[in-house]
Structure 1
Amino acid sequence: MVNAVEHSVIQVMKERGSVRKYQPGVEIPPATLKTIIEAAGSAPSAWNLQHWKFVVIQNQENKNRILPAAYNQQQVADSSAVIIVLGDTEANKNAEAVYDEMVRSGAMTEDVVNNMVNDINNYYENAATAGVHDAIRNASFAAMQLMLAAKAHGIDTCPMGGFSADALREELNIPERYIPVVMVAMGYAEQPAYATNRFSADQIVINERF
């Protein structure tokens, strides 16, 4: 059973590709989209602060409105949904909500939680780039899980870094607290992803040290 699961996960990873041609007008079933988002939200994060929000855009008029912010990449308009993955630069403010539940469940004591929250706040206050770097790093984990979960449900994706964050912020009224990290087009492929080559393990592994 374990081997079958491992095979399935690895197969999804290998089959995922960046699809740019989608069948326009095809909706993702709401229950499926919810399952995909929940899977994305199970990604790891520093201190379990869950440094992400997902702006889900399915309305055709709204997809067309953000098209210029994505430099008119047509997959934005043709996809079933566009997900803007945001990174939370003030994720330390999530600590209370995260850890209160841990205390209620008996998984942590109040003293342990208080010490952790103090450590988190000290880190955010004293490390100049902590908020931005942690927002981007941790939201990226969630974005990757979003794409893998989508592929596992037969839905293709295309991650995009080519967009105007300022234009998106203005169009979608995104608060300053959040950084647009990646835009993900999601839907049903009209054409498969381009075939791409990958470096072998021997080319990307440095054993022990350079």
Structure 2
Amino acid sequence: MSIIQLLPEIEERSSITNWSSKSISEETWEILFEAARRAPSSWNRQPARYVVVSEENVKKSVCNALHRTNKWAEKAAGLIVQVADPVDDDRLDGKDYYLYDCGLSMMSLIYQAQSMGITTRQMIGFDEKDMKQILGIPDRYRIVVIAGLGYPSESPVSMKLAQIKHVMTEQHKRYRLEHLVSWQKWGGKSK
């Protein structure tokens, strides 16, 4: 398979957090959520809900409930807190479908953002109880993921630091297909 066959949004996506100070317009937020809304879900139940955090004082409060390794989120133009009520979706054989459905929804949003020149980075390191209290999220909901979004900084220093971080953290590395994919049975090889 040739890498040229990939969509540019898939090939070029990376978790950049060296954002500029440019804000995200309300129209752009709406487009991003339209992409999320159109994602498939089990029986079209659409369990994902979102809280947008773009005001500095609220963002600061939210960032105080993040794990210390996620303090980079303070520089985001906005944060998306994705939540879902587990009873709004299927649960079969111990599998919570809402998690998969929320993942599809967030991935649609991420690729739409990438196509619009906005980078995203997701995190699950946060204090859920504190986050719910800060944002007034009802107890029945679970916070699935939080994403920081922003336009990449074009500052030469910022770009160089991002490049160094990209290399140091090996963000470009991916497992070979042979490591991920089996054919016809577990461990089966392709023809």
Question: Bigger relative contact order, structure 1 or 2, given CA contacts below 8 A and separation 6+?
Answer: 1
Same fold (TM over 0.5): yes
- Write out the 4+ residue segments of structure 1 that deviate beyond 3 Å after TM superposition: 127-130
Counterpart of 2:44 in structure 1: which amino acid?
N
Residue matched to 1:181 = 144
CA contact (8 A) 1:165 1:180 kept: yes
> Could you report, residue by residue, the CA deviation over 1:133-159 in whole angstroms, capped at 9, with x for unpaired residues?
122121111111111110010000001
Distance 2:67 2:106 in 1: 21
Give TM-score, length-normalised by structure 1: 0.74
Q: In structure 2, what is the Cα distance between the partners aligned to 1:22 and 1:79?
A: 6
Deviations 1:67-86 (A, max 9, x none): 12112423321111100111
Return the TM-score normalized by structure 2.
0.80
Deviations 1:159-182 (A, max 9, x none): 111111111111111112221111
Residue identity over aligned pairs, in percent, reads 24
Are residues 1:53 and 2:38 paired? no
CA contact (8 A) 1:82 1:184 kept: yes
What is the RMSD of the two structures over their aligned residues, measured on CA atoms? 2.1
Q: Distance in 2 between matches of 1:19 and 1:78?
A: 11
Mapping 1:48-197, distance limit 5 Å: 48-72=44-68, 73-91=70-88, 129=94, 133-190=96-153, 191=159, 192=162, 194=166, 195-197=171-173
1:10-52: per-residue Cα shift (whole Å, max 9, x none)? 110111111122223x211211111011101111100000010
Match of 1:103 in 2: none
* In structure 1, distance between residues paired with 2:86 and 2:183: 34
Q: Larger Rg: 1 or 2?
A: 1
Unaligned runs of 5+ in 2: 154-158, 187-191
Q: How far, CA to CA, are the matches of 1:209 and 1:176 in structure 2?
A: 42
